[in-house]
Amino acid sequence: MGVLTRNNVKVKGQGGQAMVFSHGFGCDQNMWRFVAPEFERDYRTVLFDHVGAGGSDITAYDRTKYGTLAGYAQDVLEICRELRLERVVFVGHSVSAMVGVVAAIQEPERFDRLVLVGPSPCYIDDEGYVGGFSRQDIEQLLESLDDNYLGWSSTMAPVIMGNPDRAELGAELTNSFCRTDPEIAKHFAHVTFLSDHRADLPKVQTPSLVLQCSNDVIASEAVGEYVCRHLPGAELVLLKATGHCPNLSAPEETVAAMKAYLSA
């Protein structure tokens, strides 16, 4: 099986430099449909689905490989090698922000910039660190997800999306969660919410933009500030957008912030 088929890779755009978009938990590349086209004139845009999501080849799923975010980072690097991409601008949403961090540490020469949208290196509170959740919170969340994934999705997706006055956004995220293979989604959730990549942040050599939303229940402003403090050469932009998915709820503001950073 080819890498491009495995991850349902789609390439568009006219530019010489590549911009790779990586989606978050329970999503697929469709979540970038309002953002990626805005860069097609100046970049070669590359979109893909993590194995188990969207149009990816579900038979390629391996619980051992994808038992850590390193497995997802390996896929990103394989896509870049297959397409012979250099000086990549990597755009990662939510858990994919840390996937990009891991990939950039492994092959720093391949990346020019990281754009991290709603990143969190660790979701569980620790001494001197506010991740936003207690360990008990996360254990209850995962237990609820394991017991009834579809019910959990319909309850949690609108909360994660935020923007309660725009119910269609929460409905879209709910539908996206429900399209994802439940067993893979459960495993990915455990990998995501129990991961701790705080020690990786100082190892990153690639300049980074951290895009932080207001009222984000998954990755709070304190988390965004922590990421920016510990990532060498990072810049933090606090968006007016609320919730965890500005690529859907506020694509114009997201695009503007990215363009301002990349042109500076």
Catalytic status, residue 216: yes
From 28, 49, 75, 216, the catalytic residue: 216
Residue whose pair of structure tokens reads 């097609």 in the numeric block: 40
Helix axes 182-193, 149-161, angle to 10 degrees: 50
Does the active-site annotation cover 230? no
Separation CA 25–CA 72 (nearest Å): 12
244 is catalytic: yes
Catalytic residue among 94, 96, 208, 249: 94
Show which residues are catalytic.
94, 216, 244
